[in-house]
Structure 1
Amino acid sequence: MTGAVDVLVVGAGPTGLTLALQARDHGAHVRVVERRPEAFRPSRALILHPRTLEGLRPLGVTDALLGLADTAPTARLHLGPRVVRAGLGDLALPDTAFPYLSLIRQADVERVLATALADRGVEVERGTELLAVRDGRHGADAVLRSGAGTEMIRCPYVAGCDGPVSTVRACAGIGWHGRPYAVEAVLADIDLSRAPGCGGAEAFAGRRGLLLLFPLGERAAWRLLATRASGGAHGAAFGQPGPAVPRTELQRLLTDVGLDATIERLAWSARVPLQYRLARRFRRGRLFLLGDAAHNYSPATGQGMNAGIQDAVNLGWKLGFAVRACDGEPADELGAEVLLDSYDRERRPVAHRRLLLTHAAFWAEASTGRVPSWLRAVAAPIGAPAVPVLLDRRRLVAEGIRVISQLRVSYRNSPLSVEGTPRLRGAPRPGDRLPDATVSAGGPAQRLHHLLARPGVHLLLQRDADPLPDATSGPDVDVLRLMNSPGQGLMAVRPDGHVGFTCGATDAAGLNGWLALIGAAALSASRL
């Protein structure tokens, strides 16, 4: 049995790669295994939300991602004979550096994240499958199989980022509730006899469901995503591409929504069975569930990849701090429990709310019931003239994006959210996401998130706050005085961009107690 690893990450999709980066950048030795021998598979996800980009920014990957993304996407919504044009870039979101929806293939996201991980000396071990894992008192014991044979390892923690049919979830004995949808997705890369619009996305709302065309095909010019009544069981795992769809069926989908174009070339297609499910817990002992292993959603509002990445941003730093809190020695088990338990307490309620959101949206988009079919086929065309008026209300659109993107997520009920005395007025509450803003830190004005775009805990002091003791600074704790913020208070910002501790005065004892709670105090003290 071999060791020398703190966190075994099972699965090298966007969730697993992000978790490995976040844990690695916060002190953990990570190992990433992926049962698929090849990296490429047709992308299912095609969008990154603003909050996801905020979470990835301290990992140093956003520039590379945005270089591959369309950050000013346009779309045409076809409602019967009416066509409504919409722009999804430059939204009214002044408190984020990413006020837009970014269209980018999942395969491109994985390539950028894997490259960043390789730059840190961690290579994804493809063709390596987790056969079994067991939670134990002194570590998690895992059995791996690769071309070199079978291997047993013991490590402090195992993160299951291994999709809907999760081996980690099965071995942990964690059930999940939900059910399959009666509607399935159809994916295809196609070339058309003529372009349907002006180069942006095309959305068709028909009686039988929704059909989308994105100029993001990997093997042809267009990626088709459609929904239709499920054809029954055909052996494919939920959320995974299954059998191919005949060209005649794809052409019928285009014809049914009124698109006058012929499929000239079909490069690839698949049926994808869909479900909505939520794991009953996200942690059991040393075993954790993230992404599709913890929750499954419909494609509505583009949550899957974003939800997994946001899970990873939340958990990665906690694992890093837990295993590296004593300068290379495992953290005290009792001291780490509150920190690690907070992952389930914070992320599972968010996942439940997201499931309700996507379920409602998918009912309207894709259900074949009489009411949603009538809404799409009859009511939507009648109401189409009002859509441009609604889209012109940028604040209304921006509020919708805030909800979809999870910019409104708060962890106020988390044990890691601590408010000191006196209360810090006029600032985000502990647990809230830290908004971006223009600040002055003794030099030219800069955006706050730019100043905090690196791993670790960030302590923000108001202009007149007393200096902090030297023991609270170090490689993992960064101190920044905001000269344009009058007052004597302070705020501690977690590595995932959420506020952890606030106080209207420089309460060194309260701050150190919070740092000890998350394991950062020991990290700093040991490296001064």
Structure 2
Amino acid sequence: MAVDRRGLTEPVDVLVVGAGPTGLAAALQAHGHGATVRVVERRTEVFRPSRAMIMHPRTLECLRPLGVTDALLDRADISPRAEVHLGRRRVSVQLSELALPDTAFPHLTLVRQMDVETVLAQALTHRGVTVERGVELADIATAEGVVGAALRSSSGIEEAPCRFVVGCDGATSTVRSLAGIGWRGASYRQEVVLADVELGGELTPNALHVAAGRTGLLFLFALGEGATWRVLATRPAGGPVENDFGQPGEGVPAAEIQQLLDQSGLGVAVQELRWSAKVPLQHRLAATYRYRQLFLAGDAAHTHSPAGAQGMNTGIQDAINLGWKLAYAAGDGSAYGDLLDSYDQERRPVARRVLAMTHAIFFAEASTHPLPALLRGTLAPLLAPAAPLLLRHEQFLAETIRTLSQLRVNHRSSVLSQDGTPSSGQNLRSGDRLPDATVICDGGAVRLHELTAAPGIHLLLSGDVDLVDSPGPRVHVHRLTGGPGPEVLAVRPDGYIGYRSGPKGAAKLNAWLRLVGAG
């Protein structure tokens, strides 16, 4: 590259490209597990309009060991109320205290993406890692054991050697392009309209409003960044795409915002339009999440409609899965092929299911096809009298959130999910998410997720179990005198069970710890 270069910088273990929620979470997870980390972001400005507004219980679980959940919840609405408008009928639904006894976060959490980014960036700064803005990835050269990344900024080109690169740089990912990874999918015929508005009319304050119409769904969040209300509505896309898919583009006139509100039947008027944008949408999945020492996460790996609030949540969960693996493999990545390969093996199937689910939900929400339009505009109001029975049914709501939150995700087929000999006869299996429950440890009652709320591998030992060798510094040992699960249980840093066995299977534990880089 015939360009003016600055001196070669000190190598780091992990270079994260992109400082959205996924990139910041990946950096925190890698740093929390011992890696040296650098985060670059091509945007020079911190603020950008939030596209995501909801954080699911499983995402909060994943972030808890990193010490950021309290700060997130301080900025969030953790007892949201939703009003579903079906014709002239309103159904009020409380989305807190859901019937989810196996999580510390049994509620839907309304929080702006910008607030999530602020909290995660502050946590990184506190750890000595500052997001470098106005710096973009220009080129990559991979070699055995090292990546040569060329970074471009106003100061010129810098050579930045590292062990691994994580592309969290969105649907137009430079990392994905430079790695030559395929990007399969298509664009939608519908687009999303976002706006921050002040509204006049009778509208319950501090509630999430959802209205169905023939042209699509309309959401009103009491979380506007420039005004009281954030409008999120779907409509048929008009004209060619003039900006990046998934990114806010040109503004939408107040008259068009009012038309969407009128079609929703909410009976409110736009008094002031502070900001608006239309967002083109697509559904795509990367052909692989890994090429040599290059990895993809978040929108760089998968992109889809906003249906089900999956984007930010799925991206953060990608990051939590990947970050600890890169940190543990940083010493000698060539020795941890199975550990690094497991990221694609575990998270890409999740994205395939998310794409299928969001595609189906978005078809019902936004398609102008006669069938969903008929369901939204005609049948839904007719069935409105029965809606309260369904929407207020505790188990129905809980199971819906459990699915959307990815609390059901398991990695039972992963190379990292192993059983000792003999295996335990308990219901929990290797690869399952560790459920939260009250156990007895050191003579006191404690919740499992509180016990494991620190970076590292957590060993849960119950009964008369003796370890063959003393575990290393990356392993925390907890002796339980009562509680669920097998007698030997190894919990990964992302909250999944990696190893389990009966009392005589502890000897094989050390082999598993070596497999994941903690032995």
Q: Give the TM-score normalised by structure 1.
A: 0.95
Work out the CA distance in 1 between the residues paired with 2:333 and 2:43.
Answer: 36
Q: Which residue of 2 aligns with 1:525?
A: none
- How far has the Cα of 1:507 moved from its partner? 2.8
- The separation in 2 between residues aligned to 1:447 and 1:515, in whole angstroms, is 24
Matches of 1:185 and 1:64, distance apart in 2: 30
Q: Are 1:413 and 2:413 an aligned pair?
A: yes
Which whole-Å CA distance do the structure 2 matches of 1:483 and 1:436 have between them? 16
Which of the numbers 292, 297, 310 marks the counterpart of 2:299?
292
Query: 1:294, 1:217 → 2: CA distance?
Result: 28
Classify 1:377/1:336 alpha carbon distance in 2 versus 1 (closer, same or farther; 3 Å): same
1:504 to 485, 498, 502: 502
- Partner residue of 1:390? 390
- Counterpart Cα distance in 1 of 2:26 and 2:341: 17
- Separation (CA, whole Å) in 2 of partners of 1:332 and 1:136: 12
CA contact (8 A) 2:43 2:133 kept: yes
- Deviations along 1:378-399, one digit per CA (max 9) or x if unpaired, are 1111111222111332112211
Aligned position for 1:327: none
The answer to whether 1:482 aligns with 2:489 is no
Paired residue for 2:95? Answer: 88
Provide the residue aligned with 1:121 in structure 2: 128
Separation in 2 of the partners of 1:332 and 1:362?
Answer: 40
- Corresponding residue for residue 139 of structure 2: 132
After superposition, residues 434-449 of structure 1 pair within 5 angstroms as 434-449=434-449
Per the alignment, in what secondary structure is the counterpart of residue 380 of structure 1? helix
- Once the two structures are TM-superposed, the CA of residue 187 in structure 1 deviates from its matched residue by 0.2
- Show CA shifts across 1:439-477 (max 9, x none): 110232111101110000000001x232224521x4310
Cα distance per residue 1:378-430 (max 9 Å; x no partner): 11111112221113321122111111000000000100000111111224101
- Matched residues in 1 for 2:210 and 2:349: separation? 31
Q: What is the alpha-carbon distance in structure 2 between the residues aligned to residue 26 and residue 159 of structure 1?
A: 16
After superposition, give the CA deviation of every residue in 1:161-192 in whole Å (9 maximum; x if it has no partner). Answer: 00000000000000111100000000000001
CA distance in 2, matches of 1:487, 1:77: 40
Match of 1:156, SS? strand
Structure 2 residue identity aligned to 1:471: S
Q: Counterpart of 2:467?
A: 468
* Root-mean-square deviation over aligned CA pairs: 1.3
Give me the whole-angstrom Cα distance separating, in 2, the residues matched to 1:277 and 1:88.
31
Aligned to 2:336: 336
Q: Alpha-carbon deviations, 1:300-331, whole Å to 9, x = none?
A: 000000000000000000000001xxxxxx22
Q: Does 1:194 align with 2:201?
A: yes
Shift in alpha-carbon separation, 1:498–1:486, aligned structure 2, 3 A: closer
Q: How far off is 1:76 after superposition? A: 0.8
1:457 and 2:464 matched:
no
Secondary structure at 1:45's aligned position in 2?
coil
Q: Quote the Cα distance in structure 2 between the aligned partners of 1:57 and 1:407.
A: 15
CA shift in 2, pair 1:3/1:487, >3 Å: closer
Paired position in structure 2 for 1:155? 162
Structure 2 counterparts to residues 91-490 of structure 1, below 5 A: 91-323=98-330, 330-331=331-332, 333=334, 335-462=335-462, 464-472=463-471, 474-485=472-483, 489-490=487-488
- Residues 417, 430 of structure 1: 8 Å contact kept: yes
SS of match in other structure, 1:353? helix
- Counterpart of 1:516 in structure 2 is 514
**In 2: Cα distance, 1:419 partner to 1:80 partner:** 54
Task: State the SS of the aligned residue for 1:178.
Answer: strand
Shift of residue 234, structure 1, vs aligned partner: 3.7
SS in 2 for 1:471: coil
Q: CA deviation at 1:487?
A: 9.3
Paired with 1:273 and 1:451, the residues of 2 have a C-alpha distance of 43
Q: Note if 1:2 corresponds to 2:9.
A: yes
Contact 1:234 1:243 in 2 (8 A): no
Q: CA deviation at 1:195?
A: 4.9
- Structure 2 stretches of 5 or more lacking a match? 1-7
SS at match of 2:175: helix
Q: Distance in 1 between matches of 2:233 and 2:469?
A: 58
1:357 Cα deviation after fit: 0.5
CA distance in 2, matches of 1:206, 1:312: 36
Asked if the contact 2:76/2:110 (under 8 Å) is kept, the reply is yes
Query: What is the DSSP-based 3-state SS (H/G/I as helix, E as strand, rest coil) of the residue aligned with 1:300?
Result: coil
Amino acid at match of 2:464: A
Structure 1 alignment gaps of length 5 or more: 324-329, 522-528
**Matched residue type, 2:131:** V
Contact 1:135 1:172 in 2 (8 A): no
Percent of aligned pairs with the same amino acid: 57
Would the alpha carbon gap of residues 243 and 83 (structure 1) be closer, same or farther in structure 2, given more than 3 Å must change? same
- Larger mean Cα displacement after TM superposition, 251-260 or 66-75: 251-260
Counterpart Cα distance in 1 of 2:404 and 2:266: 29
| Cα distance between partner residues in 2 of 1:272 and 1:134 | 34
Aligned partner letter, 1:265:
E
The 8 Å contact of residues 134 and 171 in structure 1, kept in 2 or not, is answered as: no
State how far apart, in whole Å, the 2-side matches of 1:199 and 1:338 are.
Answer: 48
1:201-256 Cα distance to aligned partner (Å, 9 max, x none): 11110000011101000000000000000012141100000000011111111112
Task: Tell me the distance in 2 between the aligned counterparts of 1:510 and 1:413.
Answer: 19
Aligned position for 2:4: none
Deviation at 1:343, TM superposition (A): 0.1
Contact 1:183 1:227 in 2 (8 A): yes
One-letter code aligned to 1:60? G
User: How far off is 1:135 after superposition?
Assistant: 2.5
CA distance in 2, matches of 1:398, 1:210: 22
Q: Which amino acid aligns with 1:173?
A: G
Q: Which amino acid is 2:332 matched to?
A: A
Q: For 1:373 and 1:486, locate their aligned partners in 2 and report how far apart those are by CA, in whole Å.
A: 48
Distance 1:332 1:360 in 2: 39
SS at match of 2:466: coil
- CA deviation vs aligned residue, 1:51-108 (integer Å, no higher than 9, x gap): 0000000000000000111011011111112211111111000000000110000000
In structure 2, C-alpha distance between the alignment counterparts of 1:66 and 1:175, rounded to whole Å: 37
Aligned 8 A contact 1:40 1:107 in 2:
yes
TM-score, normalised via structure 2 length: 0.97
The 2-side partners of 1:117 and 1:94 are apart by 31
For 1:507, the aligned partner's letter is: G
Structure 2 distance, partners of 1:391, 1:242, is 35
Distance 1:489 1:114 in 2: 39
Say which SS state the counterpart of residue 362 (structure 1) adopts: helix
Bigger CA drift: 167-176 or 197-206? Answer: 197-206
* CA drift at 1:272: 0.1
| Paired residues, number | 512
- Structure 1 residues 475-497: Cα deviation after superposition (integer angstroms, max 9, x where no partner): 31000011114998200000000
1:274 is aligned with what amino acid? L
